[in-house]
Structure 1
Amino acid sequence: MQAATAIVAETIRKIEPLDDLEREHIDTTLAWLAATDDIFRRVRPATPPRHLVAYVVLVDPDRRAVFLGHHLNAGLWLPTGGHVEPGEHPLTAARREAFEELGVHAEFSVIGDRPLMLTVTTTVGIDSGHQDVSAWYVIRGDRSREYALDPTEFAEGRWWDIDQHGLPETDPHFKRFLTKLDTQLHGPDNEL
């Protein structure tokens, strides 16, 4: 697994941080990757207690919208995605999760096939608490199209405007993600 951990670390090093918090998350993640090769969840929900996740955010850049699903276990409106399998590259996990949860072949044509963002989040409510180290990938969607989410994980899905007004209860880093996404889509002079 050390080779897989080194590949993940190289992917993380290429992320340009949005702010001091993301820099801290990247530094924490790189230190974690240097200290262990036990980064893949093996037992649900939290073994090991910190593990790697690939978020897959469906974005319609022309209509400035993101698609979120109401996650059954978390009770939050979240992007699709899930845990990276042992030995799996996060990009491979993003492709797999897009197909499993959205039924689509991921098209990484919005910003490319690298993660836009990295976050470390303590997840509580589903279990006694664990940390998700999440690589946020962006895939192209079409707001005029209906997407059928995996009904075993999501109650429903819908599009939300990137302008951040009226966002539902979601991942604590989602607004920061939208700020970073908007910067990528339109440059730093057009931030939200």
Structure 2
Amino acid sequence: MNPATAVVADIVRTIVPFDELERQHIAETLAWLGSTDDVFRRAKPDVPPRHLVSYVVLVDPRACAVFLGRHLLADLWLPTGGHLSPGEHPLDAAGREATEELGIRPEFTVTGIEPLFLTVTTTVGTHSGHEDVSLWYLIRGDRSREYALDPGEFSEGRWWDIGTSAIPDADPHFPRFLVKLESTLRAAGTGK
């Protein structure tokens, strides 16, 4: 395993699975990382056919809300984020994506610098058919503030309550993520 891939494997091992599906995704991801060093996207949309993504979820813990954008290519409500460049650390990618897509300097102060969640998803939309292994990072936001998303990536953005049972047209794992996030915020004493 090359050093960049080993770093990702170490990060994946820090994630405490919330449910059986996340446990399966973590095990599948660790097996994949152990079997290849070809984990960084080199050509759009799908070379290699499975690659790493850092999602960056803007969270207002006091308001118990998350900010999502309507992604132009996927036509889904998604957090900001994107594919890691070859050799890029996932946290660096998360920071870069937050700066590019939200125009902010991200504060990884909701739960720290480790990702909260991991998913393996077959993509949909214009660039469908490849798999994204997504590390879900949290950054601090403020629901009372307006955030301007990159218009080249998103058509609009809006806040959603964490307790929302379903967000229409979202990442298929988003309802599970919200349950894990709400539980994590309650345990930390920052959620409602």
**Structure 1 stretches of 4+ moved >3 Å:** none
CA distance in structure 2 between the partners assigned to 1:101 and 1:55 by the alignment:
11
Which residue of 2 is the match for residue 44 of structure 1? 44
Instruction: State the Cα distance separating 1:183 from its structure 2 match.
Output: 1.0
Which residue of 1 is the match for residue 78 of structure 2? 78
Identity of aligned residues (%): 66
The correspondence of residues 1-192 of structure 1 with structure 2, limited to 5 A, is 2-165=2-165, 167-187=167-187
SS in 1 for 2:156: strand
Amino acid at match of 1:91: L
CA distance in structure 2 between the partners assigned to 1:166 and 1:77 by the alignment:
11
Structure 1 residues 140-185: Cα deviation after superposition (integer angstroms, max 9, x where no partner): 0000000000000000100011111452310000011111111110
What are the ranges of 5 or more consecutive residues in structure 2 without an aligned counterpart? Answer: none
Structure 1 residues 123-145: Cα deviation after superposition (integer angstroms, max 9, x where no partner): 13323500000000000000000
Give the TM-score normalised by structure 1: 0.96
Single out whichever of 45-54 and 168-177 deviates more from structure 2.
Answer: 168-177
Q: Is the 8 A contact 2:55 2:135 kept in 1?
A: yes
Aligned length: 192
Amino acid at match of 1:6: A
CA distance in structure 2 between the partners assigned to 1:147 and 1:124 by the alignment:
26
Single out whichever of 163-172 and 22-31 deviates more from structure 2.
Answer: 163-172
Q: Is the 8 A contact 2:4 2:89 kept in 1?
A: yes
Structure 1 residues 91-147: Cα deviation after superposition (integer angstroms, max 9, x where no partner): 000000000000011101110010000000001332350000000000000000000
Q: Is the 8 A contact 2:64 2:161 kept in 1?
A: yes
Structure 1 residues 31-81: Cα deviation after superposition (integer angstroms, max 9, x where no partner): 000000000000000000000000000000001110000000000010000
Give the TM-score normalised by structure 2: 0.96
Instruction: State the Cα distance separating 1:5 from its structure 2 match.
Output: 0.2
CA distance in structure 2 between the partners assigned to 1:13 and 1:134 by the alignment:
14
The RMSD of aligned alpha carbons is 1.9
CA distance in structure 1 between the partners assigned to 2:35 and 2:170 by the alignment:
31
Amino acid at match of 2:110: V
What are the ranges of 5 or more consecutive residues in structure 1 without an aligned counterpart? Answer: none
